[in-house]
Structure 1
Amino acid sequence: FSALHFSQDQLDREVRDGAHTIDLERSEQVFLNVDWKQMGVGGDNSWGARTHSEYLLRAEPMKYSYVISPL
């Protein structure tokens, strides 16, 4: 997970339109991002290698939930 002062839209490369992350305007809000799964990046024999099929995340509806409670 991550907790950042930048929204997911701000970090999206296509939305940033080429701007560098160092140039983003920091928000006073904190955006909590919780990942359910992460896909492998490949590169086991070359940085150009594709991710093995068993480690790919397929584009399909996914749903999960979590609870944040005080200690």
Structure 2
Amino acid sequence: MSFIHSRKFIEQGSVVSVQCSHQINVLLMDDGNFANYMSGRNARYYGGFYKRFPANIPVPHSGQWNVVLALPP
């Protein structure tokens, strides 16, 4: 599994914006779902596979969020 990860506090109403030069999965998830993702279990996330950029993902509520940039399998 090849990915880049960042964890930060983000306010509700903010937008996570990612610019990339190639197709990539951009996933926004809470800590529990990130733990599931790391363990290979099903994880719920916002975002998905993007071909066009910027990828803009609205943050549904304030809290700690994990932003994952993952190469497609």
Q: TM-score, normalised by structure 1?
A: 0.21
User: Relative contact order (alpha carbons < 8 A, sep ≥ 6): 1 or 2 greater?
Assistant: 2
Greater strand content? 2
Identify the structure with the greater helix proportion. Answer: 1
